[in-house]
Amino acid sequence: MLSIILCSCIHANAQDTTFMKVNTGTTDKQLADILKFEGIEEYDVEISNHKLKGKPVLISYEEYMDGEMVKEKTLSELPEGWPASSLNAASDTVRFKLLSQEKDNVAKVNFKYSGFSFQELFETPHHTGAYSMREIFGDEEKNAKHVGNKEKKALFVYTLPFEGDHNKYYCTATSTDVPVTQWWDKYHVKHYIIFYVQVG
């Protein structure tokens, strides 16, 4: 039987730049039990900069299958009645919740903001139940995750594990400096979706 090796990540504050802090799960034990039972992964994301107010904060993704990008999209279609300026930071901090669930060969990914949300569905034809949402952090970023102005920064990846030595590894890939776009070449990960954030 394959074992699953997991890891956790902690990001610290960086002064005078846009930084991102990610908290995994919930401190509410009852809610945590429900999420686990339903197979739902939860992340709370906070993006901060004293000059962030008024700047657009955009989420986009690229989907890869067998090393080829099959889809890319920017999440910008707001609910009816919401102006485009709703994607701009209302203060020096933007917060959203990321939820993911994979069931019956379909993954549901939801970015929930205050008042509206973006939801995307993805077919998961390979190894149903093995997909997981993971933070992306290179060796130089284990203590902080920064994003430059107008920089497109990989923040999460929804992925199958890298398999080796009769084990399933998620952190082997996410904790190295191998670009996510090259995971097929390096680790032969068949299917994954990279989620990016861009500020400004």
What average pLDDT does the segment 27-39 reach?
Answer: 83
> What are the angstrom distances between the C-alpha of 94 and each of 50, 54, 142, 170, 176?
11, 11, 22, 28, 27
Alpha-helix residue ranges (DSSP H) falling in the chain: 29-38, 171-174, 183-187
| 37 vs 20: CA distance, rounded Å | 29
Query: pLDDT per residue over 176-199, tens digit each?
Result: 677 888 888 888 888 999 999 998
C-alpha span between 50 and 53 (Å, rounded): 8
In Å, how far from its chain's centre is CA 86? 21
List, in sequence order, every residue forming a beta bridge with 20; answer none if it has no partner.
47
* Residue scoring higher pLDDT (161 or 68): 68
The pLDDT, as a whole number, for residue 55 is 92
Give the side-chain half-sphere CA count within 13 A for 81. 2
What's the pLDDT tens digit per position in 78-117? Answer: 888 888 888 899 999 999 999 999 988 899 999 999 888 9
Give this prediction's pTM: 0.83
pLDDT value of residue 172: 62
Report whether pLDDT(126) > 80: no
**Which of 58-67, 80-89, 154-163 reaches the highest mean pLDDT?**
58-67
Least confident interval from 2-16, 94-108, 155-169: 2-16
